[in-house]
Amino acid sequence: MKRSILIKLSILSSILLFNSGCVFGLFKNSPKAKESRKIMPTSNIETPPSFKNIAAECSDDINVVSACNKGKIKPTELKPKIITKIGEIHKLKSFQGEPITIIERKNGYIFPQFKNKIIILEMFGKNCSHCIKEIPIMNSLRQKYGKKLEIIAIQVEGKMSPFQAKAFIRRHHIKYPVISGETATNLQYNVQNTYGWTGILPFIMVIKDGVTEFSYKGSVTSQELNNDIKSII
């Protein structure tokens, strides 16, 4: 009789233990437990759409709408101008908080804050795959040439909030000033009218002493940029 009662109590205890879920703790190292941990979400916060993936398609064809073709600035997008005898003055500010003045010339641009430096002025897009690939090249050039060179990048492909821009800068370890394209529409308009820029990204200019020495439409190699910079130092 006592044995029968003990058996019943044992069965009842097993059922209660199983229903409580505690029994799974005994098998936490089993393959099924590991697999279930892998598929558990780590966060409920979604990555902003702009940062999920670099655009898979990036056409250099001016007739194809893509992340590497922002199109041209229209006259209706221009802001009130500040004109001097030399040319229009663009008073801008980087996402990092640095004020940057760019003064137009017939054959280039003057950068009062960066005297005696070679300037790489780049139009790029946050989802342009060619542009993203060139960020390490730009960082490398800035480090290599030190005080002899500065890079100024203008993000022209769609709007970025300050929060998004700072996250983008941190994510890609950008070491140079980045300016919102929305604040530099007049400058973009001048670049397309003076240098034939069609909106294809990236678009890069190498400027020394206020004169544009080189310009590149689309992607450019590190070696090509290095060779051209060395030729004017």
Q: Would you state the pLDDT for residue 50?
A: 37
Indicate whether 7 and 89 sit together in one domain.
no
Q: What is the pLDDT of residues 82-100, one digit of tens each?
A: 998 889 999 999 999 999 9
Residue 216 lies in a domain: yes
Q: What is the CATH number of the domain that holds 168?
A: 3.40.30.10
Cα 87 from chain centre:
30
pTM: 0.73
How many other C-beta atoms can be found within 10 angstroms of the C-beta atom of residue 173? 9
What confidence tier does 53 reach under pLDDT thresholds 50, 70, 90? very low
Indicate whether 86 and 143 sit together in one domain.
yes
Rounded CA-CA distance 146/210 in Å is 19
Indicate whether 114 and 142 sit together in one domain.
yes
- Picking from 197, 7, 168, the residue whose alpha carbon sits closest to that of residue 95 is 168
Q: What is the pLDDT of residues 137-190, one digit of tens each?
A: 999 999 999 999 999 999 999 899 999 999 999 999 999 999 999 999 999 999
Residue 136 lies in a domain: yes
Indicate whether 179 and 70 sit together in one domain.
yes
Q: What is the pLDDT of residues 113-126, one digit of tens each?
A: 999 999 999 999 99
